[in-house]
Homo-oligomer: A and B are copies of this chain.
Amino acid sequence: MVAVEFWYEFGSTYSYPAAMRIERLAGEADVPLLWRPFLLGPILKEQGLNDSPFNVFAAKGRYMWRDLTRICAAEGLPLIRPPIRFPQNGLKAARLALVGEAQGWTPDFTRAVFLANFAEQKDIASEETLATILSGLGVDADAALAEARTLPVKDRLRAQTEEASRRGIFGAPSFLIGDELFWGNDRLEAALAWAKRA
């Protein structure tokens, strides 16, 4: 079976519903799933953007929040607005998501961080928030946070972000099946269908 790679950024609004539903949908489609956190900021910078397009283009931003509200309502997902800031800095959370891979807690951790950002108005850049989430999952928070600060983990996230850019990713969430790219929560079903046919 060909896997779907789920490329997500913790500050990204549409990554939130994608993260909350992808495991269920991939399971139903019988498609293996790889969680691939990355940082969108450096990729937007390559495009000449120093902020989220939803902040740079006001009408687009107003629409996005309305659209996200409709999507979350349809999915039964909580959404408390506004988040404490937009976009939030997902650097530490993304490093932790990499740390969690070896122990298998990355999916649960990812969903909890997205809920903290978009449903609980928490500061996801704060180690206190992240430690509470980790403890709630039964993870040794101090050990995970310590590992997330090490150079190999920092280098891994940098390499993962560079890989995203190299493979054509310009926004989040994105889905890759081999070289086939799908962009946006609204392309998740099409991406899974592609993986099934591949």
Q: How far is the CA of A46 from the CA of B63 in the complex (A)?
A: 16
- B183 close to A63 (CB less than 8 A): yes
Contact B57 A170 (CB under 8 A): yes
Residues of B within 8 A of A59 (CB): 47, 165, 168-170
In the complex, the answer to whether A60 meets B181 with C-beta atoms within 8 Å is no
Whether the pair B186, A186 counts as a contact (CB closer than 8 A) is yes
| A168 touching B67, Cβ below 8 Å | no
Say yes or no: A183-B67 contact (C-beta < 8 A), given A47-B57, A57-B47, A170-B57.
yes
**A: number of interface residues (CB 8 Å):** 21
Residues of chain B contacted by A170 (CB below 8 angstroms): 57, 59-60, 63
- A45 within 8 Å of B (CB atoms): no
**Pair B181/A66 contact, Cβ less than 8 Å:** yes
CA distance A62 to B190 in the complex (A): 18
Is A70 part of the binding interface, using a Cβ–Cβ cutoff of 8 Å? yes
Would you call B63 and A168 a contact (CB within 8 A)? yes
**Contact, CB under 8 Å: A171 / B60:** yes
CB contact list, A120-139 vs B, under 8 A: none
Task: Report the Cα distance A114→B105, complex, angstroms.
Answer: 49
Q: Which residues of B contact A171 (CB under 8 A)?
A: 60
CA distance A168 to B168 in the complex (A): 30
Closest to A61 in B: B170
- Taking CB atoms, residues of chain B closer than 8 Å to A63 are 168, 170, 181, 183
